[in-house]
Structure 1
Amino acid sequence: MKKYDVRLCRIERAEQIAPGIYDVTVEAGELAKAARPGQFAHIYVPGKTLRRPISICETGSGTLRFVFQAKGEGTRILAASRPGESWDILAPLGNGFTLGDTGRNVCFVGGGIGVPPLLEAAKPFGERAVVVTGFRSRDAVILQEDFKRSGNRTVLCTDDGSAGFHGLVTDCLPQRCEEIFACGPTPMLKAVARAAAARGIPCQLSLEERMACGVGACLGCAVRLKDGGGWRFGHVCKDGPVFDSRTVDFEEGGVRHG
């Protein structure tokens, strides 16, 4: 099949796993076979002109799993879907994580709804991956047992101290780490990139930006990237969503803060 395609995918399972957070698995056939960790799907919402971009959380035997937040009207409509219904899905889209040698000691860092895209990427590393996740409070915590089933070591942080470590994810980065993979709010990504630079290790960041087309045509998800001594514009949907942290311009006007 070509790089991406559109398929009508039957919903196998749908449930709410935390306040405002929904977990949906669909039968996706060839779309699932083509998907790579860190990519996303564009899902049609009945009655809406624009599709909604949702990160791929996990791939199974012909299935795609999505864990997303019902934040606006479109995602609330998707959250109301039930098993037996179908989603019109354009996938897999974007450039995901480059995992490299899975025998290395690595760290995955996720914040809030930025945690789901890390699940499939962390699997091949097993116990060599430390997964540090941060949430507002205990009620917002998701996917901890899923990472543990893959053998990953987990470190949980909450802003209010109601579960795990009371503080920031950057306070819990492991000492033995050869590369960092991260997804979450822009301030967190900026701090993680700074920590990786201080250690002199590679870091891959999955950026979050509003998207319309999902394939690089509308140019609405532009971000500023460092290019030699200057900069250029890249697009999260086509050039990303994953970028080398050294290329991301976090200065004013570079990446929108979410």
Structure 2
Amino acid sequence: MTERPHRDTIALEDARVLSHEAHPGSQQILRLAAPECARDARPGQFVHLRCDPRLALRRPLSIMRADPGTGSIELLYKVVGEGTRRLATRRPGETLSLLGPIGRPFALHRERPRPLLIGGGVGMPPMVFLADALRGEAGWRPFAILGSEVPFPFDPRPAQQPVIGLPAEAGAVMPLLEDWGIPNRLSSGQGFPGCFRGYVSELAEHWLAALDASARAEVEVFACGPHPMLAAVADLARRWGLPCQVSLEEYMACGVGGCAGCVVEVRTAEATAMKRVCVDGPVFEADEVFFQAET
């Protein structure tokens, strides 16, 4: 899978709500008929959704699945404010104004055939989308770690695929990923049954330590989640000498690069620069974003 140009594929369409499921922890899974977005979407990209006609600003939501065949996309989000509260009231048959797909997607590299996918909270969707793109593709051997501090928006089940080097307590999986043939494990600090009790970065450390040097040289890390989690994953990748791509979560106004309201400081070859998460990202190389300023 190669990186594609992404600024000339943004479509504006009226997306019809196909289903809208509520899950514990104020989480919602929204499935939309959005054929133009579904056709062009790549893992790591997002949509900018008008949650309610009475709200001027759209909300950015990561794409969890995109099916060009059915013209549908799926989004996982958590109700945290007025916009997502109103979005949660939308029912099948209604339409939502959608801009997407937006942003720079993840880029896979054939010389690194063991992608380590790490998603935390509402950072899980890009990892599911990336896993979906990898399933059935010859040569790829992904492993996914998903973390949440609220109940997962699916029913975990015991793993059927063994993974060496993991603590015995790490025995629960996301059924969808396992059904796709992708090994995965769950992590939480809340003591959920079958979940590793700790951070996703700690569970990833166990997995990496169990690999021999040749296998570890085939690993590339992909992550999305809260900023502290991404910082920990970036540090993990740095210590193990692994390339790492992160998808950032930022508040946005326009979502298409015009307002510069979502800028982050990024290290370049010359110095540092301010980059827009919406179109220069949301995917960045981890060491571009998580670096220590020189004193």
Please say if 1:216 is aligned against 2:257: yes
Give the letter for the 2:61 counterpart: I
Q: Cα distance 1:108–1:166, how it changes in 2: closer, same or farther (>3 A)?
A: same
Contact 1:55 1:116 in 2 (8 A): yes
Give the letter for the 1:243 counterpart: F
Structure 2 counterpart of 1:153: 183
- After superposition, where does 1:1-258 map in structure 2 within 5 Å? 2-44=8-50, 45-60=52-67, 61=69, 62-101=71-110, 104-126=113-135, 128-137=141-150, 139-140=151-152, 142=154, 144-163=174-193, 164-173=195-204, 174-175=207-208, 176=211, 177=216, 178-228=219-269, 230-249=271-290
Contact 1:10 1:86 in 2 (8 A): yes
Give the letter for the 2:191 counterpart: G
In the comparison of the two structures, how many residue pairs are matched? Answer: 251
Rounded to whole Å, the distance in 1 between the matches of 2:81 and 2:116 is 31
TM-score (norm 1): 0.91
Rounded to whole Å, the distance in 2 between the matches of 1:209 and 1:20 is 20
1:127-181 Cα offsets, whole Å, 9 max, x none, are 82111111114x2454822222222111111112223111111111122451000
Structure number, greater radius of gyration: 2
Give the letter for the 1:50 counterpart: L
Question: Percent of pairs identical after alignment?
Answer: 36
Give the letter for the 1:206 counterpart: S
Match of 2:118, SS state, is strand
Give structure 1 stretches of 5+ with no counterpart: 253-258
Moved more, 96-105 or 190-199: 96-105
Give the letter for the 2:178 counterpart: K
Rounded to whole Å, the distance in 2 between the matches of 1:69 and 1:112 is 9
Structure 2 counterpart of 1:255: none
1:195-249 Cα offsets, whole Å, 9 max, x none, are 1111111100001110000011110101000112521100100100000011114
Q: Cα distance 1:55–1:115, how it changes in 2: closer, same or farther (>3 A)?
A: same
Moved more, 195-204 or 102-111: 102-111
Give structure 2 stretches of 5+ with no counterpart: 1-6, 156-173
TM-score (norm 2): 0.80
Measure how far apart 1:79 and its partner are.
1.1
Rounded to whole Å, the distance in 1 between the matches of 2:153 and 2:147 is 8
Moved more, 167-176 or 33-42: 167-176
Match of 2:125, SS state, is coil
Match of 1:191, SS state, is helix
Contact 1:103 1:125 in 2 (8 A): no
Rounded to whole Å, the distance in 1 between the matches of 2:253 and 2:38 is 22
Rounded to whole Å, the distance in 2 between the matches of 1:244 and 1:170 is 17
Moved more, 88-97 or 121-130: 121-130
Q: Cα distance 1:146–1:171, how it changes in 2: closer, same or farther (>3 A)?
A: same
Moved more, 209-218 or 122-131: 122-131
Give the letter for the 1:98 counterpart: A
1:48-67 Cα offsets, whole Å, 9 max, x none, are 11011111110012111111
Match of 1:46, SS state, is coil
